[in-house]
Amino acid sequence: MGSAPQIAVVPAPRADAPRSPARAPRPSSIALKVTMAVTGTVFALFVLVHMIGNLKAYTGAEHFDPYAHWLRTLFEPLLPYEGMLWILRTVLLLCLLAHVGASIVLVVRARRARGRFRRTGMGWRRLPATLMPYTGLVLLVFIVVHILDLTTGTAPVAPENFEPATPETAHAYHNLVESLSRWPMALFYIVVMVLLGLHLVHGLLTAANDFGVTGHRVRRYWALAGAVIAGAVAVGNISIPVAVLTGVVS
């Protein structure tokens, strides 16, 4: 008779046996947060400078239109017409893609880590952070509307008598007044600027954490600077549609 088949016995792993470490997700959450902080700071500086330029509307078409034309002819003849504008647009577009992409990944990871249960007892202190994805989505829609309204003059977003810029001159003042003379568009701009201010306040404060800013005094000054920038951008931009509707700018 043949011998009975032998069954190999595999010992069970010991409870204290080392386990292979889980592979960390790529890119890391730290890298994503730093990406959002860097691109968010770029946007904050851009909207601040953009707001300062917009305030030239108070000086009339004789100053606002040459300013808009100067932006298109900057560094000519080294760069072609609108060359510098397209460089800035490309940089901002890349920053926007990186900012939105990092935000989506971080939100998805946070929801997976949280599971089915939400943290409670945070109250209004958690509200700015909770609203960030929603205010960001509104701002994304606003960027599209703003471009169609005052850059490309695309109907039905832009006013009917939109005048495109030419290599010789710009009609930015005319287009601005015609657009914001429509109270639904003016109201939309005002609401979005309020949301932009809220987004900037919390975003710049979060950037301090992502940049590793330490020290109570430094963080307090950082928060104050963020609040000043956010307030200045919101109030400055809101004043323009209000001025158009009230006839101060016409």
In a domain, 158, yes or no: yes
On whether residue 227 sits in a domain, the answer given is yes
Is residue 16 in a domain?
A: no
Amino acid at 12: A
**What per-residue confidence (pLDDT) applies to 10?**
56
The model's pLDDT over 140-152, given as tens digits with 9 standing for 90+, comes to: 999 999 999 999 9
Rg (CA), the chain: 26
Q: Does residue 210 lie in a domain region?
A: yes
What pLDDT does 78 receive? 95
CA distances from 47 to 1, 36, 92, 104, 233 (A): 90, 16, 11, 22, 7
Number of domains in the chain: 1
Are 207 and 39 within 8 A, CB to CB?
Answer: no
Backbone angles phi, psi at 152, to 5 degrees: -95, -20
| pLDDT score of 22 | 58
CA 195 vs CA 44, 106, 109, 136, 152: distances in Å: 13, 21, 25, 9, 24
H or E segment to which residue 135 belongs: helix 127-150
Domain of residue 132, residue span: 29-115+125-246
Q: Does 193 fall in a domain?
A: yes
Query: Residue 182's domain is classified under what CATH number?
Result: 1.20.1300.10
Measure the CA–CA gap between 69 and 171, rounded to whole angstroms: 9
Express each pLDDT in 66-104 by its tens digit. 999 999 999 999 999 999 999 999 999 999 999 999 999
Read off the pTM.
Answer: 0.84
- Domain presence at residue 14: no
Distance, CA of 69 to chain centre: 26
Q: Which of 163, 32, 143, 162 is nearest to 89 (CA)?
A: 143
What confidence tens digit (pLDDT) does each residue in 106-164 have?
Answer: 888 887 877 666 655 555 556 777 788 899 999 999 999 999 999 999 999 999 999 99
Average pLDDT over residues 170-198: 96
Q: Which pLDDT score, from 0 to 100, does residue 140 have?
A: 95
State the pLDDT at residue 215: 81
Tell me whether residue 141 is in a domain: yes
